[in-house]
Amino acid sequence: MSLKRPLRRAVTALAACSVTLAVTSAPAAATIADGTRFYTPRPDPGAVQQIAELKAAGQRVLAHQIRVMTETPQAVWVTGGAGSSLTASVRTEARRAAATRTMPVFVAYNIPFRDCSQYSAGGATSVAEYKAWVDAFAAGIGSRKAAVLLEPDGLGIIPWYTTINGSQEWCQPAEADAATAAADRFAMLNYAVNRFKALPRTSVYLDGTHSAWLGVGDIADRLVKAGVRKADGFFLNVSNYETTERQLKFGDWISKCVYYGTQGPAEARGHFEQCASQYYPASPNDFSTWALSDAWYADNVGQVSPHRLAHFVVDTSRNGQGPWTAPAGVTWPDPQTWCNPPDRGLGLRPTTRTGDPLADALLWVKTPGQSDGQCDRGTGTGTDPARGGIADPAAGAWFPQQAEELVRLANPPLR
């Protein structure tokens, strides 16, 4: 079963470096400074329509809440386009942000075989096309301040990849070259890190998955291969529902594991599999045991200046009620807990006041109110039994029912 998370539609160089484990350069200084104000893009047309319909029906409180949700800073997703038109569209958003003295958060989501050609299938068709896309994207940002989150699921799902534990990744598309697909993925991400970090005021973060997915050592290994030591760090929980508390702990461990496997004792170099994680010695379902993994890092990494560790950001757009579990006794083949789970709520608002020296920001990355996909819990019916048998909207389309749940169950509540 895949733990991936389908995403949203678009608002719309340097030579690729070799991938090594023995990276000695310190991470780039983060440009998401304390007190940064983030950009709010124009609302989804579906949200505008829903607000108007609610007002017409006399449901003014709910209409106000959804409007507040759309007016909260959130990411701009860029999932396609090419050449000068792509550059122009990115430039437009960057200029709007600059005019309001805010930082836009762009999500680059166009890598070949993205989402392993599932719910959010698409992306560039070749390495060369992807590099050209990155070049055009970067040209649109230019010297303006921005953050770029590179390829959600890009490291969580890698075509034809052999994991750190020697197992084969489930994603094995017939159209991809099994001999080169994984290496191409890392080369493209390194290229993108280099290209965006060459811009004077851009922060860059790579996919760090979330605490209910890959183990710490596995994602740390992938991050290093993708160039995290040249980036500002990584992002967590994008388009998912895991709690902020767990993501902060998970992010700290990943940062320390990256350090352990690249700058730790000589015998530790490259051995990310030795890192403690949410799976061992901690137990993933018992948060009280996570102190056991804290103790491992205290013993094996010790105190390291935050300036020497990779930083991270956390998506809190929909985690106010935490993750969802299927009702007891259901017999769905795949509960798809990541896919439009019912009764979730908005989470903490975007801020740089995270309380964690390694966490640069809490962000709304996934646009709240947009569908995760046409979830059917593995039944093959095309309808969602967790939502009374309705047909969920396609990935990225506005989902009025979910939008209402998110504002009604927001934690903290909307004002």
- Note the Cα 118 to chain centre separation in Å: 17
Calculate what percentage of the chain has a pLDDT beyond 70. 92
Taking only the tens place, the pLDDT of each residue in 91-102 is: 999 999 999 999
Calculate what percentage of the chain has a pLDDT beyond 90. 90
Taking only the tens place, the pLDDT of each residue in 251-262 is: 999 999 999 999
Confidence at 16, pLDDT banded by 50, 70, 90: very low
What was the pLDDT predicted at 329?
93
Residue with tokens 């640069």: 360
When pLDDT is averaged across residues 325-354 and rounded to a whole number, the result is: 96
Whole-prediction pTM value?
0.92
What was the pLDDT predicted at 113?
95
For residue 148, which of 224, 210, 99, 207 has the smallest C-alpha distance?
Answer: 207
What was the pLDDT predicted at 121?
73
For residue 138, which of 254, 258, 18, 13 has the smallest C-alpha distance?
Answer: 13
What was the pLDDT predicted at 68?
98
When pLDDT is averaged across residues 85-93 and rounded to a whole number, the result is: 98
Average pLDDT, the chain: 92
Taking only the tens place, the pLDDT of each residue in 175-231 is: 999 999 999 999 999 999 999 999 999 999 999 999 999 999 999 999 999 999 999
For residue 232, which of 146, 152, 318, 301 has the smallest C-alpha distance?
Answer: 146
Q: Determine the 3-state secondary structure of 272 from DSSP.
A: helix
For residue 210, which of 125, 46, 337, 378 has the smallest C-alpha distance?
Answer: 337
CB-based burial label for 163 (10 Å; 0-12, 13-18, 19+): middle
For 414, residues 6+ apart whose C-beta sits below 8 A from its C-beta are 65, 68, 69, 346, 407
What was the pLDDT predicted at 120?
67
Confidence at 370, pLDDT banded by 50, 70, 90: very high
Q: Which domains does the chain have, with CATH numbers?
A: 45-408 (3.20.20.40)
d(CA 308, CA 112): 32
HSE of 288, CA atoms in CB hemisphere, 13 A:
0
Q: Is 415's pLDDT higher than 90?
A: no
When pLDDT is averaged across residues 125-138 and rounded to a whole number, the result is: 97
Taking only the tens place, the pLDDT of each residue in 177-187 is: 999 999 999 99
When pLDDT is averaged across residues 117-126 and rounded to a whole number, the result is: 80
Instruction: Strands of 321-397 (E only): list them.
Output: 359-363
